[in-house]
Amino acid sequence: MRIDILTVLPEMIEGALNCSILKRAQEKGLAEIYLHNLRDYSTDKWRRVDDYPFGGEAGMVMQIEPIDRAISALKEERTYDEVIFTSPDGERFDQPMANRLSMLGNLILLCGHYKGIDYRIREHLITKEISIGDYVLTGGELAAAVIADAVVRLLPGAIGDEQSALSDSFQDGLLAPPVYTRPAEYKGWKVPDILLSGHTLKIEEWRLQQAQERTARLRPDLLSD
Ligand code: ADE
């Protein structure tokens, strides 16, 4: 899979892409992720990519031209399954959406700035708008990093234990059950006996029951869905 991220602040995303599982997924050739600075597509001698809004509102608006030039340059090289704009007004990002995106080939993620992007970009160039939650960030960069992380870790081979992505919270509509590691007792706090019993089937039953109990207690909305 290939993800091209268009942003005015590549340095805000760079660290997140070059650590841990995302770094390894790229090294293994499972994912290619490229950061593109929108200023490189500006025709302005100061490399500006925003301007004052028509109608005299407060704040600056990202211009259509650098964004159109950047998207067109990418589309000349390959076809894209989605051109995604990160915005608080978008469709809410969740695990099923991450699963669907992970099955696509090429994605563009355009990092937006709330109230700050020429609306024609959204009308003519964007195929999907995604919000990572009902709150407003300073820009779409952290949202793009969240989306890239959630999607790339699902690629086959990205996580060492293939099973573990499937047993994540939300994958079966339930929160994940608790996990423990050595020591079996610490300061008198014990790991549940069942996990030390060696009864695979009973352990699976316990895990499911724990997942159901935690979901009912912490996220009852997931069960009513
Ligand atoms: N940009 C600003 N806030 C955002 C959010 N909640 N989700 C996605 N992009 C954003």
Mean pLDDT over each residue of the chain, to the nearest integer: 95
The per-residue pLDDT for range 80-92, each reduced to its tens digit, is 999 999 999 999 9
Residue 80's nearest CA partner among 96, 53, 55, 101 is: 101
- Give the Å distance between the CA of 23 and the centre of ligand 1: 24
Testing ligand 1's pocket by substitution, the residue of 9, 122, 135, 141 carrying the most ligand atoms inside 8 A of its CB is 135
In this prediction, residues 3-30 reach a mean pLDDT of 96
- Give the Å distance between the CA of 77 and the centre of ligand 1: 28
Testing ligand 1's pocket by substitution, the residue of 6, 9, 62, 86 carrying the most ligand atoms inside 8 A of its CB is 86
**Residue 95 to residue 137: CA distance in whole angstroms:** 21
Residue 86 — φ and ψ, nearest 5°?
-90, 125
Residues with CB under 6 A from ligand 1: 86-88, 112, 114, 131-133, 135-137, 139-140, 143
Testing ligand 1's pocket by substitution, the residue of 128, 129, 131 carrying the most ligand atoms inside 8 A of its CB is 131
- Residue 113, pLDDT > 90, answer no
Confidence of residue 58 (pLDDT cuts 50, 70, 90): confident
Say which residues have a Cβ less than 8 Å from residue 79's Cβ, sequence separation at least 6: 106
The per-residue pLDDT for range 161-213, each reduced to its tens digit, is 766 777 788 878 999 999 999 999 999 999 999 999 999 999 999 999 999 99
Residue 105 DSSP label: S
The helix (H) or strand (E) run that includes residue 6 is strand 2-7
User: Ligand 1 atom 4: the closest Cα is on which residue?
Assistant: 88
* pLDDT of amino acid 225: 64
- Give the Å distance between the CA of 39 and the centre of ligand 1: 21
Query: What domains, with CATH codes, occur in the chain?
Result: 2-152 (3.40.1280.10), 171-224 (1.10.1270.20)
Are 112 and 106 spatial neighbours (Cβ–Cβ below 8 Å)?
A: no
**Residue 221 to residue 212: CA distance in whole angstroms:** 12
Give the type of residue at 72: S
Least reliable range by pLDDT among 49-58, 102-111, 213-222: 49-58
The per-residue pLDDT for range 65-78, each reduced to its tens digit, is 999 999 999 999 99
Beta 50-51 vs 61-62: how paired, if at all?
A: antiparallel
**Residue 154 to residue 8: CA distance in whole angstroms:** 27
User: Ligand 1 atom 2: the closest Cα is on which residue?
Assistant: 137
